[in-house]
Structure 1
Amino acid sequence: MNQLSVLSLSLLLPTGFVFAQSTTSTTTTLDNNDVIVTATRTAQKVSNALSDVSVITQSDIQNSGSRSVSDLLNKVTGVETFSSGGRGKATNLFLRGTSSEQSIVLVDGVRLFSATTGSAAIQHIPLEQIDRIEVVRGSTSSIYGADAIGGVIQIFTKKPSNTHTQSASIGIGSQNTYEASAGASGKWNKLGYQAMVSHDYTGGFSTTNKDASAYVYNPDNDGYRNTTFTGKLDYEWLKGQTIKASAYIGKSKSEYDAYKFSMAYPPIPADYKQDEEHSKLTQFTVESSNTLIDEHLFSSLKYSKSQDKSKSFESERPDNTGFFNTTTDNVSWILNGKINTINAIFGLDWLRSKVDSSTIYEKDSRDNKAVFIGADWQYKNHLLEGSARYDDNEQFGSARTGRIAYGYKFTPTLSARASYATGFRAPTFNQLYYPGWSNPDLKPEKSHNTEIGLTYHPEKLKIDWVAFRNSIDNLIQYQNNHTVTNNKVKIKGTSLSVAASLSDSVILKANATYQDPIDKNTNQVLNRRSRAFGNIGVDYLPNEDWTLNANVYIKGKGYDSYSDDMTWQTVSVRNAGYATLDLGVRYQMTPSISTSFTVENLFDKGYTNAYGYNTSGQSVFWRISYQN
């Protein structure tokens, strides 16, 4: 598909086409009074946000037809995600052309990431556990610190409800896929509680294909299983004074095709045993949330401990089990004050990352201390936001980041905004110390992000347009000679998202992004990014019991690279553009019971996101759910 096809589609939007996902998204209404907390770490209406944001509500998740966080995020403006070989495999996350390491993923306010790779294992977070997702595009380092060059994605898991509720669901689908979940939530006197467990299993398909290295390719099915538990308690011991505790525990087993020392595959030997990676994600949090001055001053003191553990079992090397365990301790204190139309925030952050691995690292821990301030102000038609942060990193010294944004409301339905922000990213432990593939002299990445935007929101229509430019100095990249160096990249682009309520029962939604993520040293497009991509979707609600939806995902051509088996040189290869169609239907059988059926990739379109790795063909899934 021509790269400009998606951009051309976006130019048609004002004359009749609409794309999902708009500035905020609901399936049954175009209300713009939703609240977002991720953009400034304080609550604000989406209509007043001066960042480029998207909100995915519980209603969106239920009616989207998506079966993974990756699939759901693919429908969001400016986001590209895909896994390397199917469900549960390593997932790439590109936010406005930046890499997984250049964006932050939070789960209930706590960062999810591996200190060795720098990326978040979103492939292990089941949708059943999620209540809401907020996406902020553009640098947010002035609030969140290192690695927020591309933006922030915050996942909110389900929370205690005011009345006792219980839920359960089961599902079955293609590739021997089975899912089940059960949970309970409620309040007893002043104690709120929530607990939920979910289990997923799929037989999967072959991770790799014949384009992969002959030392890796193995045409077997690579399955995946995951069991996740979330639990929350909150106790309001006095009005406005609450103690909260939460736990997230996820264990998974993912089969994959490991590197072999011979080219004997295929055929598969009779005594072959599956290559597997066992992973465990844990997160424990305690928080004191306090109202100090009624309606005017609020405090939050939070401690969290999270771990990302993985252990590999390879068929050819049973005595060489490799493991990577990273532990992150984080203490944060936020003081939020409101005076008339001014909302101010002050915060302190302390974070320690530690690595325990079968691979010996020259250094295995580092601390980061930070202080930040921010404020937003509204006066008549004027909106103003500003924030600044100072980080003191044990390895790299100090870093100062800031952001300033201004907005103006021409009318109640038309507004404009502009912003400038700086950011930085610290090299990962792998990039600094992994034997044979590292460089201890790497410099932190530094970014300068500029953007302008327009939002038009009459009663039954939402249009959001943004143009952005992100210059990144000291970009960290791997080279052909197994070294890591600092380069430079400039990413510029534009996005357009629209949602329109055509009637009480039909909502059309769409988005389109055109970007130019160019490596300034090679003048080439960065690997696995597309210059153009987007969605066209429709929700049809004939009555309160039925919801039908369709979504077309369109992705322009991109480029990837691989290492030639004979020369060991890196070769660039082009991945063709493609389009896929997903369909879904949901029926509310009774007030407590609903059922849904989805078809992904209806026309069984073959396509490539990562060279040498397979993608799923047509698949179907049926689920029945109970909640009371």
Structure 2
Amino acid sequence: MYYRKKILLFVFILFIPFVLHSQVDTDSLRVLKEVILKGKPYQEVIPVQTLSGKLLENLSSHNVADALRYFAGTQIKDYGGLGGLKTVDVRNMGTHHVGVFYDGIQLGNAQNGVTDLGKYSLDDMESLTMYNGQKSEIFQSAKDFAAASTIYLRTKRPVFIGYKKTNLLVRFKTMSINYFDPSFRWEQKLSDKVSMSFSSEYIKSNGEYKFRYKRNNLDGTIAYDTTATRHNSDIEALRVESGLYGKINKGSWDAKLYYYDSDRGAPGAIVENKFSDGFRQYDKNFFTQAFLVKDFTEKYKFQARAKFAYDYTHYVARDTTNILGETVTEGAQSDDSYYQQEYYITAVNMYSILSNWDVSLSTDFQYNRLNATRRGIQTQFSYPQRYTTLISLASTYRIGGFKALGSVIGTNVQEEVRYNAKAPDKTEFTPALFLGYTPFKNYDFNLRAFAKRIFRMPTFNDLYYTMIGSSTLRPEYMNQYDVGFTYNFPQNKGFFDKFSFQLDGYYTNTKDKIIAAPTGNLFRWMMTNIGQVEGKGIESVLNMGTHFGKVNLAANLTYTYSESKDYTKFGGLELSSYGDQIPYTPWHSGSGILNADYETWNFNYSFIYVGKRYNGNVNNIKINEVQPWYTHDLAVQKSFAFHNYKLKGAVELNNVLNQNYEVIYNYPMPGRTVKFIISIEL
């Protein structure tokens, strides 16, 4: 019934554009006037990586998480399967220190602080951009300043060519495994200054794939070696988005609606040849947000954003085993539902004191509430509420080839609970300083350095989760330092049309790290502030582009070397893991994207490598070692034109060499798969 309702809803949504398209007024056509935006000379002070345009479109990626793997310094934690959790970590600082922004407003999760990037499709994405530190500008909200690293997901805006008033794209994807994925996007020009978009996507798959499970004993002999099928990895999901975009005198505005509904399985870990059921998760995510920006004078600019979000999550965990032909439940069970609400508003003011000196003041307010129903748990849920106020003061100054950007953020957090003890109110101030210098006028060579201090609040789970949370937790503090350069070779001189290289070295220091530690009872762990982690590394990015006649070639290569070591003491004593690499931190990793474009053909090759790492804190134990993994992906695309219609067909071959690998230990990933995509645009 659930499946049929979603099919009917999707079919209804799919035909809305065709019905409305037949009602479009074609008697009067208007030409959108050309708009030229002028700004001050822009110098990128902060390391930035971007995937956009054809390079993003042609990646063999299912969702945002898959695409982010190609950024230097990122690690995607993928628990396998189409419905498994997928999170991002930058420079091994922890998932909670990464701010993910969707069309300018941060995606929130006050319950556990984790953004599941597997929910977000690439179909509507215009660009993915990652900054270490923050953006190289001060005309932004206080929350943009309040993260150690930021990732910006920008969706497509309507663009109309000539007298065209309607754009419609219908796409269908399928795979060699059971996978069904139709989608569409409709864009309509309502007037010279207002346009809208509406898109939807439906995904249905049983998620089953074969994998090889092999484990060796410490002496090298084989303990387990079997081939099996991954179950409980299914997904059924519906995504609906709508946007309204407008222009005003010396400004613009937009509004957005987003809805995501899914029923998915998350397969459990494979331990000692036991294939656990894992759990099931049901999600309903809705948010609406709006944005306004306006230049009131040549010196004063203003922007405002607002958002309301409602998230419903239902977890059901029940591991079973077969005894004498009967299915019997084993281990702990859970059947919990969580309801989150978030209200957010921000106002940003920027004033140009001089032509080379700007200041900004941003004020943000956010309210979060978490309710829950938990079957079989007798203890009272806390029902926490959080009121967060952030105020940022920032300034940027330019003189010659030198640019400086400084900011300080004041954060006040107040909490209320219905039951149990509440966390104390907190007020923190965190500064940041960014410097950039262009030493040569005739060469696009930029030096940069920054120092930033930031912190993260404990999540509701950290503070109030039954038997584990601790309401006395302190914030987790992060200091980050970076030195690097970028060099862009002159265009159209020599062999390359484009050639740029950037290199950064960094150091991070985390204090009062929030971790789970054992109490007097080894079966009971509690969140506490005893962790300390120091990290350092090197990141490099190389972008190249050239052409041979009608053949255009582009390449994007990254390499990362990283160390992130645990210096945690417990009771004043060094743990056995003291000085060892923290779990799932490879020393070496890299990626490559090669793209060739010839008339109506496009070829794409992508490669990812993740080196040796450990799944436990202690690095000198062989059993904790996780072998390197790598994948090769190929894609070919062909475009056809029929009058006013554009047809595209694509074939993708993922994991070409059929490597058996695990991103997270005991969570096997799919082998070789083939994906087929067809789209029609009018």
> Corresponding residue for 1:435?
466
Equivalent position SS for 1:503: strand
The aligned residue for residue 621 of structure 1 is: 675
| Post-superposition CA distance 1:463-488 (Å, at most 9, x none) | 00000111111111122441222211
Residue 528 of structure 1 pairs with residue 581 of structure 2: no
1:462, CA displacement in angstroms? Answer: 0.4
Compute the displacement of 1:329 (Å).
Answer: 0.9
Matched, 1:414 2:445: yes
CA displacement at 1:451 relative to structure 2: 0.6
Corresponding letter in the other structure for 2:130: V
* Counterpart check, 1:483 vs 2:526: yes
Higher mean alpha-carbon deviation, 107-116 vs 414-423, is at 107-116
1:508 is aligned to 2:555: yes
- Matching residue of 1:566: none
Distance 1:43 1:447, change over 3 A: farther
Matched, 1:329 2:343: yes
1:375 aligns with 2:395: yes
Partner of 2:606: 551
Question: Whole-Å Cα distance in 1 between the matches of residues 429 and 317 of structure 2?
Answer: 44
Alignment pair present for 1:465 and 2:494:
no
Please report the TM-score for the alignment, with normalisation by the length of structure 2. 0.77
Distance in 2 between residues matched to 1:206 and 1:492, nearest whole Å:
38
Structure 2 residue aligned with 1:599: 653
Q: Which residue matches 1:19?
A: none
Q: CA offsets, 1:291-333, max 9 Å, x none?
A: 311x432222222011232112345789963112222110101
Equivalent residue pairs, number: 568
Task: Work out whether residues 101 and 118 of structure 1, in 8 Å CA contact, stay in contact via their aligned partners in 2.
Answer: yes
- Which stretch of structure 1 is more off in the superposition, 333-342 or 369-378? 333-342
Q: Do the aligned residues in 2 keep the contact of 1:84 with 1:91 (CA within 8 Å)?
A: yes
Query: 2:547, 2:357 → 1: CA distance?
Result: 39
Change (3 A) 1:207 1:218: closer
Aligned to 1:117: 112
Q: In 1, distance between residues paired with 2:97 and 2:39?
A: 24
Q: Distance in 2 between matches of 1:520 and 1:149?
A: 23
Alignment deviations for residues 57-92 of structure 1 (CA, whole Å, 9 cap, x no partner): 132221222222111000111111132122231113
Which among 234, 250, 254 is matched to residue 260 of structure 2?
A: 250
Q: How does 1:338-353 map to 2 (within 5 A)?
A: 338=352, 339-353=354-368
Structure 1 unaligned spans of 5+: 1-41, 563-569
C-alpha displacement of 1:193: 0.7
Residue identity matched to 1:606: N
TM-superposed deviation, 1:160 = 3.4
Correspondences of 1:567-586 after superposition (within 5 Å) = 573-586=624-637
User: Matched residue of 1:115: which SS?
Assistant: coil
Among candidates 40, 47, 56, match of residue 61 of structure 1: 56
CA distance in structure 2 between the partners assigned to 1:321 and 1:274 by the alignment: 13
Distance 1:483 1:415, change over 3 A: same
Instruction: Give the direction of change, closer, same or farther, for the CA distance of 1:483–1:208 in structure 2 (3 Å limit).
Output: farther
How far apart are the structure 2 equivalents of 1:192 and 1:323?
Answer: 38
Contact 1:208–1:613, Cα closer than 8 Å, also in 2: no
Q: Which residue of 2 aligns with 1:355?
A: 370
Opposite residue 395 of structure 2, the aligned amino acid is A
Measured against aligned partners, the alpha-carbon deviations of 1:378-428 in whole angstroms (never above 9, x if no partner) come to: 222112211111111114411111111111112232111111111001111
- Taking every aligned residue pair, what percent have the same amino acid on both sides? 16
Deviates more, 1:333-342 or 1:467-476: 333-342
Answer with 314-323 or 602-611: which moved more: 314-323
Structure 1 segment 217-236 matched on structure 2, within 5 A: 220-236=231-247
Structure-2 change in CA distance of 1:379 and 1:71 (3 Å): same
Q: 1:396 to 1:210 in 2, by over 3 A?
A: farther
Q: CA deviation at 1:343?
A: 3.8
**Aligned with 1:518 (options 554, 558, 565):** 565
Q: What is the CA–CA distance in structure 1 between the aligned matches of 2:214 and 2:312, rounded to whole Å?
A: 30
Q: CA deviation at 1:191?
A: 2.4
> What is the CA distance between 1:246 and its match in structure 2?
0.9
Which residue pairs with 1:171 in the alignment? 173
2:405 is matched with which residue: 350, 360, 385? 385
Quote the Cα distance in structure 1 between the aligned partners of 2:39 and 2:181. Answer: 35
Separation in 2, partners of 1:259, 1:516: 27
Q: Distance in 1 between matches of 2:517 and 2:229?
A: 27
Letter in 2 for 1:550: Y
Structure-to-structure mapping, 1:140-155, within 5 angstroms: 144-145=142-143, 149-155=147-153
More displaced, 223-232 or 353-362? Answer: 353-362
- Deviation of 1:265 (Å): 6.9
Give the distance between the partners of 2:39 and 2:51, measured in 1 at CA.
Answer: 16
| 1:530-568 Cα shifts (integer Å, max 9, x gaps) | 121111332122x23111121221111112149xxxxxx
Residue 105 of structure 2 corresponds to residue 80 of structure 1: no
Retained in 2: the 8 A contact 1:374–1:387? yes
Select the structure of larger CA radius of gyration.
2
Residue type of the partner of 1:529?
A: T
**d(CA) in 2 for partners of 1:226 and 1:516?**
38
- Equivalent-residue separation in structure 1 for 2:338 and 2:622 (angstroms): 29
Query: Per the alignment, in what secondary structure is the counterpart of residue 462 of structure 2?
Result: helix
Distance 1:361 1:158, change over 3 A: farther
Q: What is the rounded CA distance, in whole Å, between the counterparts of 1:145 and 1:471 in structure 2?
A: 21
User: Retained in 1: the 8 A contact 2:269–2:667?
Assistant: no
8 Å contact from structure 1 (residues 129, 230) kept in 2: no
Q: Is the 8 A contact 2:251 2:293 kept in 1?
A: yes
Structure 2: how far apart are the matches of 1:571 and 1:325?
43
1:401 corresponds to: 430
Summarize the Cα distance change of 1:554–1:265 in structure 2 as closer, same or farther, 3 Å threshold.
closer
Within 2, Cα distance between the matches of 1:525 and 1:498? 27
Equivalent residue for 2:536? 492
Q: What does the per-residue CA deviation read over 1:111-161, in whole Å, with 9 as the maximum and x for residues that have no partner?
A: 213211111121111111222211112368996459955401111122333
| Alpha-carbon spacing, 1:383–1:601, altered in 2? closer, same or farther (3 Å) | same
Q: Which shifted more, 335-344 or 136-145?
A: 136-145
Question: 1:573-612 CA distances to partner (integer Å, 9 max, x unpaired)?
Answer: 2211122111111212226221211111100111122122
Equivalent residue in structure 2 for 1:50, among 45, 50, 55: 45
Contact between 1:421 and 1:448, CA under 8 Å: does it hold in 2?
yes
Structure 1 position 612 matched with structure 2 position 666:
yes
The CA distance in 2 between the partners of 1:574 and 1:561, in whole Å, is 8
- Separation in 1 of the partners of 2:536 and 2:310? 35
Structure 1 Cα separation of the partners of residues 616 and 176 of structure 2: 31
- Offset of residue 371 of structure 1: 0.9
Question: 2:388 is paired with a residue of what secondary structure?
Answer: strand
Structure-2 change in CA distance of 1:265 and 1:499 (3 Å): closer
Please tell me whether the aligned partners of residues 535 and 563 of structure 2 are also in contact (alpha carbons under 8 angstroms).
yes
Choose the corresponding residue for 1:539, options 587, 591, 595: 595
| Corresponding residue for residue 90 of structure 1 | 85
Picking from 184, 187, 205, the partner of 1:185 is 187
Assess, with a 3 A threshold, how the Cα gap between structure 1 residues 335 and 353 changes in structure 2: closer, same or farther: same
Partner of 1:287: 291
* SS in structure 2 of the partner of residue 64 of structure 1: coil
Change (3 A) 1:552 1:340: same
